[in-house]
Amino acid sequence: MRESKKMTHSERAVAEKKAKRLPKKLWALIEIALADLRKVEGDDRYRVDMMFFHGTAYDDRCLVCLGGSVMSGSCAVARDVEVAPDDFGSQAWKFIALDRLRVGDVYSALSLAMNNKYQGFEVREGHVFSILKSLNISNRTITPYDMNRRAFFREMRALARRLKKVNL
């Protein structure tokens, strides 16, 4: 079994720079994540496990979740590097938002997006909820990937379409 390496300072800077190119809109972030997830599904060097962002498993495959697939794909993090959202500095919120969206927690994902889009903007209690309610968007149940990956993809695409309709 190969051990995961930690990111070096320079690797972390490059990863954060690549993550900055990722969209701030949640719907677009979901679309990129689903495309990257499809790519890792087709690569025997990876195994999807929604409990791990990005790291090496006992069988030397790289474990990735939805956000981890973006780390491997769009951000080009090496398979043998153990990575967490914090390794992406100011862009960490994008990976945490994906983790929240994969379970249908739109409220938390939008809170993260708003707090990071508007530097210093404090989301008041109930403010995000009222925005979602006015747009007729609510938290929803997303079928877990490991229970039914087809349903997971279908429901995540539907969520992305709904968020795109209201430009979130």
Q: How confident is the model at residue 73 (pLDDT cuts 50, 70, 90)?
A: very high
pLDDT of residue 150: 97
H or E element in which residue 159 lies: helix 149-165
Q: What are the backbone dihedrals phi and psi of residue 159, each rounded to the nearest 5 degrees, phi first?
A: -65, -45
Parse the chain into domains and list their residue ranges.
5-165
CA-closest candidate to residue 93, choices 118, 111, 75: 111
- Contact between residue 22 and residue 32 where contact means Cβ atoms under 8 Å apart: yes
Is the pLDDT at 116 greater than 70, yes or no?
no
pTM of this structure? 0.86
